Amino acid sequence: MADSIVYLGTGGTIAGSASSAQDNLSYTSGRVPLGDLLAALPGLPERLGTHAMLHEQVFQEDSKDMDLSHWQVLAARVAHHLGSASVRGVVITHGTDTLEETAFYLARTLPASLLAGKPVVMTCAMRPATSLSPDGPQNLRDATVVAATSGAHGLMLVCQGQVLDGAQVQKIHPYQLNPFDAGDHGMVGVVEETQLRLLGGWPRPVPDRAVKTLAGRPTSGQDFPRVEIVFNHNGADGAIVRALCAPPSQGDAPVQGIVLAGTGNGTMHRGLEAALRAAQSLGVTVVRTTRCARGRVLPRADGRGEAFPILELSPVKARIELMLQLAARQAAA
């Protein structure tokens, strides 16, 4: 039997539906079934070539509403398909709003041995499927081109012809059709018409980070420790951190980690620093990132601020990394 490309649908604007074809904002995400999107895609059989096609609606969500359980279900389905000898690659349709978080979670939790041999290509849209001029079909076609390319492997995002390392992407615009950027990492390649032009190498596995990493990964269904993101800004006096560390309301999990989205090179107001040190002394793990869109926090030669280890990730990705590490630590205890 021919190798298959497996499409996994999770919802998002690419599956969105609006009452007017001229309305690209007041629509409902995650309405059009993945099977319908694929059936309506011109040229799909040509792009698949000798590959067979399978599709599965994993869920239908606006990605702003996703939580850990969605990640776990999706990761399990991706791992299942990648593990099958007859599957060549996986394409995932996903909302743009939290795509970078799902991508980082997948890159960080899928076995590296699976990603080293096969492609997982995420794709999306900024206009609903019912739009006058939807962008989803072209993105889905381009994602198919990448997934069907011989030798393709690793986790990627394909949007507006750009092929980006999935673990590096960040949504940087709320409206434009090309809302993603991979910062300093540049592009993996571009899809031009129906050809992939590789510019860099295929994505590499996500490395373990500076915070003490422990073996093991959370098992499906395990709750992640609660980790919150706190920004530094003018007048950040630490009140938010004190509120986070107060006894939780009924039903809320206690905070176990805080990601500082610092200014510049991970700096923080002295009031916020004092509050974070107090949180740390209560057993809360605090890590430092930057709220800058690009780059990473670098250690200072004089060691100031080093009470809070640096994570070389954006704040939202650092939150996932810290949750994974705290969960692994707890699972190993």
Q: Closer to ligand ASP by CB, 121 or 272: give it.
A: 121
Q: Closer to ligand ASP by CB, 63 or 325: give it.
A: 63
Q: Are 154 and 120 spatial neighbours (Cβ–Cβ below 8 Å)?
A: yes
Give the number of residues in contact with ligand ASP, rule: CB under 6 A: 12
- Measured distance CA(161)–CA(138) in Å, rounded: 8
CB of residue 316 vs ligand ASP: minimum separation in angstroms? 14
Q: In the set 4, 63, 160, 232, which binds ligand ASP (CB under 6 A)?
A: 63
When CB distances to ligand ASP are compared, the closest residue is 95
CB of residue 134 vs ligand ASP: minimum separation in angstroms? 12
Distances (CA, A) of 148 to 112, 124, 151, 202: 20, 18, 9, 14
CB of residue 47 vs ligand ASP: minimum separation in angstroms? 22
Q: Closer to ligand ASP by CB, 58 or 272: give it.
A: 58
- Measured distance CA(313)–CA(318) in Å, rounded: 5
Q: Closer to ligand ASP by CB, 123 or 289: give it.
A: 123
Contacting range for ligand ASP; rule: CB under 6 A; set: 7-15, 102-110, 187-195, 311-319: 7-15
End-to-end CA distance of the chain: 46
List 157's β-bridge partners, or say none: 122, 164
Q: In the set 13, 93, 285, 314, which binds ligand ASP (CB under 6 A)?
A: 13
Please state, as a whole number, how many other Cβ atoms lie within 10 Å of the Cβ of residue 21.
Answer: 13
Site for ligand ASP in 85-124 (CB under 6 A): 95-97, 124
Q: Are 92 and 78 spatial neighbours (Cβ–Cβ below 8 Å)?
A: yes
Contacts for 233 with CB less than 8 Å, ≥ 6 apart: 263, 269
CB of residue 29 vs ligand ASP: minimum separation in angstroms? 4
Please state, as a whole number, how many other Cβ atoms lie within 10 Å of the Cβ of residue 26.
Answer: 9
Under the binding rule (CB under 6 A), the answer on residue 12 touching ligand ASP is yes
- Measured distance CA(29)–CA(293) in Å, rounded: 27
- The secondary element (H helix, E strand) that includes residue 318 is helix 315-332
Q: In the set 90, 126, 241, 258, which binds ligand ASP (CB under 6 A)?
A: 126
Q: DSSP per residue over 14-43, as a string?
A: GG-EESSTT-SSSEESS-S-HHHHHHT-TT
Contacting range for ligand ASP; rule: CB under 6 A; set: 9-17, 70-78, 83-91, 257-265: 9-17
Contacting range for ligand ASP; rule: CB under 6 A; set: 6-14, 80-88, 136-144, 199-207: 6-14
Distances (CA, A) of 82 to 155, 188, 193, 286, 290: 12, 21, 27, 35, 34
Distance of CA 270 to the CA centre of its chain: 32
Q: In the set 29, 168, 232, 285, which binds ligand ASP (CB under 6 A)?
A: 29
- The secondary element (H helix, E strand) that includes residue 63 is none
Under the binding rule (CB under 6 A), the answer on residue 139 touching ligand ASP is no
CB of residue 30 vs ligand ASP: minimum separation in angstroms? 7
CB of residue 138 vs ligand ASP: minimum separation in angstroms? 15
Q: Closer to ligand ASP by CB, 59 or 231: give it.
A: 59
Site for ligand ASP in 309-328 (CB under 6 A): none
Contact residues: ligand ASP, CB under 6 A: 11-13, 29, 62-64, 95-97, 124, 126
